[in-house]
Structure 1
């Protein structure tokens, strides 16, 4: 049976978070709808790949892809989406801070929405990160909202649900996963933010620091704002 949902999980050096997260995904989705889990290992230097391969015999829904070189989270997400076999994609971070039990909530929001809504973005209403990380994200969200006017309170949340075809039609660049609501709106579709839970990291270490993220974010914001300003859309009819 072809899957109705592909869950794409990008990972880099997350060996201790893999098995618990896979088990939670299976518990949240098995019996609800046909699905697959597509893990994309961004050329980890620990034994992440071995842990994933060891899970495959007992989790038939699991597929494993590996980058030949480390390429970043956005590339890993795009790799997974391109390989996915379902028309709808759910993404979540591989660090275990997103709760797979929220995926059915996103699916319910999709089923209740109109066909013009193509992205359902998780909104972490009670974040479990450090104070400095929450402060940095709060200011980044304010600046982004003012520049892009995407009406999205939390674009950095890894758990999202979107239509595969719409995603693959978006312009691709590194760090694009942080601007999906604005890019989807630029393409002429609507987006909805859905409150989701958030959990503290219990294993592994964060792959980002506040300064590095801010410096990259300034450049990306300018680029996305330029894309929006230069966008042209029109209805098309076949004669």
Structure 2
């Protein structure tokens, strides 16, 4: 790549050897010729052939960069590693399972173009979920509880496709699972967020890394922590005189 990218696409992956190739090619099809971009795939110490598959793809896709966690550290840490390494001022994220549609990234970019500068996060909103009935039911109740406690005015914080300003993200407090609370955290920092309807697809390969129980157990503690952060935050304008 000769030009500095305008957009960094960050994709955390763990044991997704059959999904990384098709997903990367979809990213290329959606963005090449439209915007200067880089694709930063972060392998969270996969135990299958994910890392080898990504390394082989570098010969095919010059925009690809591959990061590897020496120890498995979770999705939030993988996203943060990718954002810290990103060379563009704006970052789009995708889940590594292929359920997010890279063709929606241009839609988020168009929303950013039409938005005011105060909006720093454009969050995907899965209006037609392609998950199991139990997962949709659990997500519905989790979103309702979160919305009531955090008042983040976001219908779907669990959607992996998002577009945000890199500096704004790196200014947020970091903790494990923070990626599930980005709208509330951005709003806490004084920025505005909007939700954009996006496509959602069934997983075509591999297995989910989460179940409803472990999401719930972790989510309760995290939700209480984020609510505490919001109550303890203070913001003010700063003037140099």
Q: What TM-score do the two structures reach when normalised by structure 1?
A: 1.00
**1:37-52 counterparts in 2 under 5 A?**
37-52=39-54
User: Which of these residues, 93, 115, 118, is aligned with residue 116 of structure 1?
Assistant: 118
Aligned residue for 1:50, secondary structure, equals helix
Cα deviation for residue 145 of structure 1 reads 0.2
**1:155-194 counterparts in 2 under 5 A?**
155-194=157-196
- Which digits, 9 at most, give the CA deviation of each residue in 1:54-96, with x for residues without a partner? 0001100000000000000000000000000000000010000
Task: Provide the C-alpha distance between the structure 2 equivalents of 1:47 and 1:102, rounded to a whole number of angstroms.
Answer: 28
Partner residue in 2 for 1:65: 67
Aligned residue for 1:16, secondary structure, equals coil
How many residues in Structure 1 have an aligned counterpart in Structure 2?
239
Task: Provide the C-alpha distance between the structure 1 equivalents of 2:209 and 2:230, rounded to a whole number of angstroms.
Answer: 29
**1:90-239 counterparts in 2 under 5 A?**
90-239=92-241
Indicate whether 1:77 and 2:76 are aligned: no
Task: Provide the C-alpha distance between the structure 2 equivalents of 1:33 and 1:67, rounded to a whole number of angstroms.
Answer: 28
> Is there any run of 5+ residues in structure 2 with no aligned partner, and where?
none
Cα deviation for residue 180 of structure 1 reads 0.1
Q: What TM-score do the two structures reach when normalised by structure 2?
A: 0.99
- Which digits, 9 at most, give the CA deviation of each residue in 1:96-144, with x for residues without a partner? 0000000000000000000000000000000000000000000000000
Moved over 2 A (4+): none
Task: Provide the C-alpha distance between the structure 2 equivalents of 1:174 and 1:164, rounded to a whole number of angstroms.
Answer: 18
Aligned residue for 2:58, secondary structure, equals helix
Cα deviation for residue 155 of structure 1 reads 0.0
Cα deviation for residue 233 of structure 1 reads 0.2
Alignment root-mean-square deviation, CA: 0.3
